[in-house]
Amino acid sequence: MKRRDFLMNAGLGAAAAAMATAGVIGCSKKEEEQKVEAPVVSTKKTYNWRMVTTWPPKLPVLQDGCERLAKRIGELSDDRINIQVFAAGELVPALESFQSVSDGTVEVGSGAAYYWAGKEPAVQWFSAVPFGLNGQGMSAWFYGGNGLKLWEETYAPFNLIPRPAGSTGVQMGGWFNKKIETIDDFKGLKMRIPGLGGKVLAKAGGTVVLLPGGEIFTSLERGVLDATEWVGPLHDLRLGLWQAAKYYYYPGWHEPGTYLEYFFNKKAYESLPKDLQHIIDAACTETEHWVLAQFEARNGEALQTLINEKKSQLIQFPEQVMIDLKKMSDEVVAEEAAKSAIATKVNDDFKNFQKIVGTWGSVSETAYYNTIQPKFPLKG
C-alpha cells in the first residue's frame, strides 16, 4: 500500500511540475510574461548547393552578380537553400561549367550561352546575335515573346533549366593592334571573339581564338592575339587591355545586347518544393535587373577614364566595314540556323520578334538618341 501511494504521489508531482513549467498552473501573469520560451526548431529540409561560373574571381558585376544571387536566395529562403559559389578554375575549368551542371556534379552554373555552341548551335541566340537585339530587346523577347520558352526547350535535353542573368548592354567592338579601315584588314587577324560574331570574323578571313577572361590580357600582350573583345569600358579598364592594344573600336556589332545566364541542374531544381523554386526564379530576375543597371551606371565613367587618363584611341568602325560585316552576319546566322531543327525554330522566332521591336525602336529610341547625341559629345 505504501508503495502504491508513493508511485501515485510521484506521478501527480511530475505532472504538476510539467504544468508549472509550461505556465499552466502556479504561475502569475507577471511570471508568464517573464518565462523563457524554448527555441523554435525548424523541421524544413535545407539544401546545400554549389555554383560554378566562367568568370574570374572578384570580377565586377559578373562574378559579383553570382555571389549576390547566392546571398539573395539564402535570404529569401530563410537559409533553406545555401549556395557556395566558385569562380572559374576554383572547382572546374571555366568552359566545363555547362557539362558539370548537366551531369549533376554541381547544381548551378553561370556563363554566356554562346560558350556552348559546340553542343547545340541554337544556344547562341540566347546570348548575342550580331546586328540583333539590344539588351532591352532581348529582355522583351524572353518575357514578352517566346524567348525564354525556347531557351528552356533548347536546354532540356542537357538536363538544364536556364534563367536570364542580365545584359551587358551594347558591348565595345574590341581592342586592336592594327587599324581596321576595310573588311580586308580582318584577314589573318588572330582575335578572341566567341559566338556568332566569331564565325563572322572567320568568314572575313580572321582566326578565332576562344579564351576565358582570365587569359585574355597575357595573350594580347604576348602577341598570341592581335585583337580581342571582352565586354565594355568597365571590364576592359579593369583587365588593363589599354596597356596591350592601341586602338579601341566601337560599336559592338557582334554583341549588341549580350545576355548572361544562370543554369540549374533540372533534377536538383525540380526536387525543390514549389515555394523554393519560386524564390530562385524571383532572385534570378532581381539580379538580372541589377546586372544591367550596374553596367549602364559604370561604363560611362570607365570610358572617360580610358579616353582622358589612359589616352586610349577611341575609333568608330568605318561605315563600309559595318555594311560588309552585316552582310556576312546574315550569311553566318542563316548557316548556323540550318544546323539543327531547334536552331531553325529559334532563329525564325528571333527574326520575327526583331522586326516587331525594331519598327518601334526606329521611331522611339533611335530617333531620340539621334536628337540628343550632338548635345553630349565624347570628351577627350
What's the rounded mean pLDDT across residues 10-27?
42
pLDDT at 21: 41
Q: What's the CA gap between 192 and 171, in Å, rounded?
A: 14
pLDDT at 368: 83
In this model, does residue 187 exceed pLDDT 50?
yes
CATH number of the structural domain 174-252+310-358: 3.40.190.10
Question: Which pTM value belongs to this model?
Answer: 0.85
In this model, does residue 27 exceed pLDDT 70?
no
Break the chain into its structural domains and give their ranges.
Answer: 47-170+258-296, 174-252+310-358
Greatest Cα pair distance in the chain: 113
Greater confidence (378 vs 100) lies with: 100
In this model, does residue 351 exceed pLDDT 90?
yes
CATH level 3 topology of 47-170+258-296: D-Maltodextrin-Binding Protein; domain 2 (3.40.190)
Task: Give the mean pLDDT of the chain.
Answer: 89
Helix (H) or strand (E) holding 154: helix 147-155
- At 130-147, the pLDDT tens digits run 999 999 999 999 999 999
pLDDT at 242: 95
Write down the residue that cell numbers 524567348 correspond to: 147
> Strands, DSSP E only, in the chain?
47-53, 81-86, 108-111, 160-167, 174-176, 190-192, 207-209, 227-228, 247-250, 259-265, 313-316
Coil vs helix vs strand at 167 = strand
pLDDT at 359: 79
**The two domains 47-170+258-296 and 174-252+310-358 share their CATH topology (first three levels equal):** yes
In this model, does residue 329 exceed pLDDT 70?
yes
- At 161-178, the pLDDT tens digits run 999 999 999 999 999 999
**Contact criterion met (CB below 8 Å) for 47 and 272:** yes
pLDDT at 366: 81
C-alpha closest to that of 204 among 96, 316, 320: 320
- At 207-227, the pLDDT tens digits run 999 888 889 999 999 999 999
- At 66-119, the pLDDT tens digits run 999 999 999 999 999 999 999 999 999 999 999 999 999 999 999 999 999 999
pLDDT at 4: 45
pLDDT at 6: 42
What's the rounded mean pLDDT across residues 43-61?
94
